Copies of this chain bind each other. A is one copy, B any other.
Amino acid sequence: MDINTIASLINAKVVGKNFEVTGMATLADAKPSEISFLSNSKYAKTLQSTKAGAVIVDENSQKYLPENCVALVVKHPYWEMAVLSEYFSTPIEDDNLEDAQIAQSAKIAPEAVIAKGAKIGENCRIMANSYIGNNVEIGDNTIIYPNVTVYKECKIGKNCIIHANSVIGGDGFGFATSNMGEHKKIYQNGNVVLEDDIEIGSCTTIDRAAFGSTLIKQGVRIDNLVQIGHNCVIGEYSVIVSQAGISGSTEMGRNVVMGGQSATAGHLTIAPFSTMAARSGVTKSIKESGKTFAGFPLMNHRAWLKLQGKLARLIK
């Protein structure tokens, strides 16, 4: 799709030269052949460092664009990005892809569905009623229990275990909202990547990225009923206990422990070897590694214990 076609889809004024656009990405990640967007005019200065070939902007923000970067000027850039995201989405199921490649030693239950383009490694076991979408790749020795859904284009490493009824790669919770309060879906055109040696519990959901990948690194342990939002990065050997929820775009280092029913806000970074007690709610990034926290808003675990002591005295 070229710039002029895009401009007509979103009613944009083009400032710059036409070129063939290969994809959409965030300002930070976009390459010269890609189009990006300014989600909020507050952050207009971040435009200056983008390598995107074109950006959807509003009139006021246009001046911050780097030289040679094409501007697509619209009134509501975030909404128009949502409109455009649909055009960059691939089909939900594509029957024109090549047949799935399944290693001879893999055991695929007859009631499992392996969509076209998928690649299943040696000694894998895909159990009954699971669904493996188009172009999904699964490494050697991985076990997928019954009734699991893996959406198209996700990648799962070697020696992983995914327990029953979990969902890998469902759409992230992304939409633009108009002044009238109506919502427009942002197509989630990224995927989920699970590295090797990961175990994921039952009824857990890991959302695909809007752009790029939601990444679960080697050796992670995730319990049941956990939510991992789009574009998160979960560090190596991290442990996420049941019913915890990690909001979108949060990145944690290795060996982070998230207790049961804990949660994080979005767009945070959490230092390696941090431990959150059960029910912790992480509201700010954590910079120093190796500490233990509790409470909501989050505080040092000792401070939380002290606070509970003070509160207990309040009612005596």
Residues on A lying within 8 angstroms of B by beta carbon are 92-93, 109, 111, 113, 125, 127-131, 143, 145-149, 151, 161, 163-167, 170-171, 173, 175, 177, 181-183, 185, 199, 201-205, 207, 219, 221, 223-225, 227, 229, 236-237, 239, 241-243, 245, 247, 254-255, 260-261, 263, 265, 273, 278-279, 281, 296-297, 299, 303, 306-308, 310-312, 314-315
**Chain B contacts of A242 at CB under 8 A?**
173, 205, 227, 229, 245, 247
**Chain B contacts of A221 at CB under 8 A?**
173, 175, 183
Q: Are A149 and B146 in contact (CB under 8 A)?
A: yes
Q: Are A278 and B263 in contact (CB under 8 A)?
A: yes
23 contacts across the A-B interface (CB closer than 8 A):
A92-B127, A93-B127, A111-B129, A113-B146, A145-B151, A147-B148, A149-B202, A163-B171, A164-B167, A165-B166, A165-B203, A173-B221, A173-B241, A181-B254, A201-B205, A205-B224, A205-B242, A243-B245, A245-B260, A245-B261, A261-B263, A279-B296, A310-B314
A93 CA to B125 CA in the complex, in Å? Answer: 10
A128 CA to B229 CA in the complex, in Å? Answer: 24
- Which single residue of chain B is at the shortest CB-CB distance from A227? B242
Given contacts A260-B245, A297-B308, A303-B315, is CB(A205)–CB(B205) below 8 Å?
A: no
**Chain B contacts of A202 at CB under 8 A?**
149, 167, 170, 205, 207
Q: Are B170 and A147 in contact (CB under 8 A)?
A: no
**Chain B contacts of A92 at CB under 8 A?**
125, 127, 143
